[in-house]
Amino acid sequence: MSQESDPHMHPLFERVERFRRRSGRVRDKVVVQAHGGGGKAMRDLLDDLIVGELGDAQLQINEDQARFSLAELGASGDRLAFTTDSYVVSPLQFPGADIGKLAVNGTINDLAVSGAIPMYLTCSLILEEGLPIDTLRTILQSMAQAAKQADVHIVTGDTKVVPRGAADKMFINTAGIGVIPEKLDIGAHRIQSDDCILVNGYLGDHGAAILVARGELQLDTDIPSDCAPLHGLIRTLIDGGIDIHAMRDITRGGLATVLNELALASEVGMSVNDRALPIRREVKGFCELLGLDPIKLANEGKVAIAVPASQVDEALALMKQHPLGEHSAMIATCRPTPPGVVTIDTGFGGERILDMLVGEQLPRIC
């Protein structure tokens, strides 16, 4: 067949294809209803911003689903870990991170605390009419950068546009798939009454950053969110031979809530050493000023890890060698009684019950 008789070789066809590939240009300054209507405006939004900025090869295939090699997944382990989460933080951008980085790292961390190797993420966007296009582009770029740094792939997703007032600028839902290596068993059921609880650094930073970013209080501080992916730190412990019994990333409700969840699930008691808690002086200061409890503030780059008492020193040494674990500490010990109850020392030789967060200290922190 000659070049002239083959339409796929015709110069005009090539020009049309090049035009199609570069035609996804959003000229609007803000998100409009047409961007969710299923037509050309929506295609432009997808091609120019969402696929264009996230840039993963799976997204560029432009199918309604992502496709994986079972052999490739099976080569990394014998079980899948699957999670989903939604992010509605206000404001969308805050010191140290934004809703996009938060969505990527938050979902990675939910996988990582099972011991899984995070591999694939989805991204569903709920956009409010009137959201500035520049803000959307910045957040998508942040998501792409976070995914690249964590070596995970955003492979499929969805976009919806809702009328003004039906959402608060932008919501993100993500789901994640990871692979759990063979023979790895991490969960609250493995916590023993002589275990110790470790954390990897300063507590309450994310909640503090959001509080300051809202601008509702005249606070002069530059504390950034601790938003970060934890799977590298966790892999360091696993590869180092630490027998991790259980892990939870410390998010809404802070350390107090996470310890209560672990204690109830394992039916062991826990005793917290108040003097060992790593909390920034600035966070302590404005928590005292506002009547907040720093160990009930949210975090987005901290994990509570239960390990055997015999491995505490080794585990802490490994953690402190990692950039996300420089300020790691042992903050609690487990005990057989009272089962499911967490206490904290009072500083006066006694102790009190440390309950999980009741109500909400700060609205919309993740």
The one-character DSSP state at 90 is: S
Are the CB atoms for 118 and 111 separated by under 8 Å? yes
pTM for the model: 0.90
One digit per residue, the tens of pLDDT, for the chain of length 366 reads: 444 445 444 454 454 444 444 445 788 899 999 898 888 888 888 888 888 888 777 777 778 888 888 998 899 999 999 999 999 999 999 999 999 999 999 999 999 999 999 999 999 999 999 999 999 999 999 999 999 999 999 999 999 999 999 999 999 999 999 999 999 999 999 999 999 999 999 999 999 999 888 876 666 677 899 999 999 999 999 999 999 999 999 999 999 999 999 999 999 999 999 999 999 999 998 888 888 899 999 999 999 999 999 999 999 999 999 999 999 999 999 999 999 999 999 877 789 999 988 777 666 778
Alpha-carbon distance values, 329 to 61, 263, 277 (Å):
46, 19, 7
Return the H-helix or E-strand segment holding 172: strand 170-180
Domain boundaries, the chain: 27-180, 188-353
Beta-sheet pairing, 342-345 with 269-272: parallel
The predicted-structure confidence for 144-162, as pLDDT tens digits, reads as follows 999 999 999 999 999 999 9
Quote the pLDDT of residue 361: 66
Regarding the domain with residue range 188-353, which homologous superfamily does it belong to in the CATH classification? PurM-like C-terminal domain (3.90.650.10)
The one-character DSSP state at 153 is: E
What tokens does 30 get? 């803000």
Please tell me the distance from the alpha carbon of residue 237 to that of residue 137, in angstroms, as a whole number. Answer: 36
Quote the pLDDT of residue 216: 66
**How many other CB atoms are found less than 10 A from the CB of residue 254?**
25
Please tell me the distance from the alpha carbon of residue 136 to that of residue 127, in angstroms, as a whole number. Answer: 9
The SS3 call for residue 207 is: helix
Task: Name 334's bridge partners.
Answer: 270
Quote the pLDDT of residue 304: 98
27-180 placed in CATH 3.30.1330.10: yes
The SS3 call for residue 243 is: coil
**Chain centroid to CA 358: how far?**
23
**How many other CB atoms are found less than 10 A from the CB of residue 187?**
17
